[in-house]
Amino acid sequence: MSVERNKEIGRLWFEEMWSKPDFDIAREIIHPDYDPEWVHIPKKGPEQVIYEMKYFRSAFHELKYKIQNIIADESKVWVHYKASAIHGGNAWGFEPTNKKVELEAMAILEINKYGKVTNSWGAFSLFDMLVELELVPPLWELSKYFPK
pLDDT band for position 40 (50/70/90)?
confident
Q: Which domains does the chain have, with CATH numbers?
A: 3-137 (3.10.450.50)
The count of C-alpha atoms lying within 13 angstroms of the C-alpha of 18, restricted to the half-sphere facing its C-beta, is 23
pLDDT at site 147: 84
- The tens digit of pLDDT for each residue in 98-142 reads 999 999 999 999 999 999 999 999 998 888 999 999 999 998 888
pLDDT at site 96: 96
The count of C-alpha atoms lying within 13 angstroms of the C-alpha of 127, restricted to the half-sphere facing its C-beta, is 5
pLDDT at site 11: 97
DSSP 91: B
* Percent with pLDDT over 70 in the chain: 100
Residue 37: CB partners within 8 Å, gap ≥ 6?
none
- The tens digit of pLDDT for each residue in 45-96 reads 999 999 999 999 999 999 999 999 999 999 999 999 999 999 999 988 899 9
pLDDT at site 42: 86
Please tell me the distance from the alpha carbon of residue 107 to that of residue 12, in angstroms, as a whole number: 13
Please tell me the distance from the alpha carbon of residue 4 to that of residue 10, in angstroms, as a whole number: 10
Asked if 10 and 79 count as a contact pair (C-beta separation under 8 A), the reply is yes
pLDDT band for position 144 (50/70/90)?
confident
pLDDT band for position 145 (50/70/90)?
confident
Backbone torsions φ then ψ of 119, nearest 5 degrees: -160, 160
